[in-house]
Amino acid sequence: MLFTNTQYPNTRLRRLRSKEFIRNLVAENSLSINDLIYPMFVHDQNTDSQVIKSMPSVLRHNKNDLLKECERLCELKIPAIAIFPVVSQDLKDNNAKESYNPNGLMPTIIKEIKARFPELGIISDIALDPYTSHGQDGIIDEQGRILNDTTVDILKKQALCHAEAGVDIVAPSDMMDGRIGAIRKSLDEASFIDTNILAYAAKYASNYYGPFRDAVDSLKNLGNADKRTYQISYHNANQALHEVALDIQEGADMVMVKPGSSYLDIVYQVKQNFKLPTFVYQVSGEYSMLKLAAQNGLIDEQKAVLESLICMKRAGGDAILTYYAKDIASWLK
């Protein structure tokens, strides 16, 4: 609705913008360290941490370096991390058996982090693409079709494996139908009733994921294939709301919209419609674009990054996964 300012000059909105302290007092949205989740990559090799060329300043950590990084995060008061594994090619197969190995990379590192930093929240990725020889998030048949229910059976095993290791939140990012309900039932039957589920409920088939797939070493396995038969088309909004509604009905405690900046309309609609804790993922492509633009002197990095996250908060995001979490924590201090 449009209004005509019949009260001018008595009403001057610019007065509320005249001084910094006034702008801060009347700010409708703010960002704090408590809003931040730091995504981290860990590899299973007995080698140094590895530079990810497509993601400047982000590393594939070895286990020891990951633990050192967790210590730094605790010092910065960052409340939670999201861990993504990078497993050796010889551990990948069509059945993703390594994804639920109790002695595998993820259960091992979850246990070690919890033992040393119990106050640091851990979110684990529940998906098969780091473990499949073809790079898809699901098991495929001879025709290359994703087998939904077969995949869900393995996702249940993976989530239970992580819960047994002590993870706080499992985050199914695969977009298989029915997986939230199946995982919730599996966790509850095993008495993990307090293990939260963060559902990647509105995960789009986005072109912004390239650097991430490079980071987890699934890009070459995926090849020329894509994930459009299970991730949402970026043409659709109502379909995303349907996905979110189903995940909530199946037992999701929080929901995720991914990517972030190009999907703020979806974040807003999800928050307005469902009022559930709504997380936003500032994905690898968004991060790399900001980082490269800053390195080339095209933007003020700190100001542009903070603006991008405040926009996510304004749209309704409660927490944000961002590779800038450490920088932001330092800037906010």
Q: Are 265 and 242 in contact (CB under 8 A)?
A: no
Instruction: Report pLDDT digits (tens) over 45-71.
Output: 999 999 999 999 999 999 999 999 999
Of 63, 203, 227, 271, catalytic: 203
* Bridge partner residues of 319 (DSSP): 279
Tokens of 31: 């960002």
Does residue 203 have an active-site annotation? yes
* Bridge partner residues of 82 (DSSP): 39, 123
Contacts of 125 (CB under 8 A, 6+ apart): 82, 83, 84, 85, 171, 173
Where does the pLDDT of residue 317 fall: very low under 50, low under 70, confident under 90, or very high at 90 and above?
very high
Of 63, 258, 271, 313, catalytic: 258
pLDDT at 217: 77
* The residue to which tokens 């009022």 are assigned: 275
Task: Round the CA-based radius of gyration of the chain to a whole number and report it.
Answer: 21
Tokens of 316: 């309704």
Kindly report the length of the chain: 333
Overall average pLDDT of the 164-172 stretch: 98
Whole-number mean pLDDT of the chain? 95
Of the candidates 333, 285, 325, 278, the one whose C-alpha atom is nearest the C-alpha of residue 305 is 325
* The residue to which tokens 């189903």 are assigned: 246
Percent of the chain with pLDDT over 90: 90
Q: Are 261 and 286 in contact (CB under 8 A)?
A: yes
Overall average pLDDT of the 72-87 stretch: 97
Amino acid symbol at 228: R
pLDDT at 131: 95
Integer angstrom CA distances of residue 97 from 64, 182, 207, 268: 25, 19, 28, 38
Does residue 291 have an active-site annotation? no
Q: Are 234 and 206 in contact (CB under 8 A)?
A: yes
pLDDT at 216: 85
Instruction: Report pLDDT digits (tens) over 100-121.
Output: 999 999 999 999 999 999 999 9
Amino acid symbol at 297: G
* Bridge partner residues of 170 (DSSP): 124, 197
Distance of CA 72 to the CA centre of its chain: 20
> In the chain, where are the structural domains located?
32-259
Overall average pLDDT of the 2-10 stretch: 72
Overall average pLDDT of the 128-150 stretch: 94
Where does the pLDDT of residue 214 fall: very low under 50, low under 70, confident under 90, or very high at 90 and above?
confident
pLDDT at 3: 60
CATH of 32-259, one of 3.40.50.150, 3.20.20.70, 3.20.20.150, 3.40.50.970: 3.20.20.70
Q: Are 190 and 163 in contact (CB under 8 A)?
A: yes
Distance CA 278, CA 276 (A): 6
Name the pTM for this structure.
0.94
pLDDT at 110: 98
Instruction: Report pLDDT digits (tens) over 268-289.
Output: 999 999 999 999 999 999 999 9
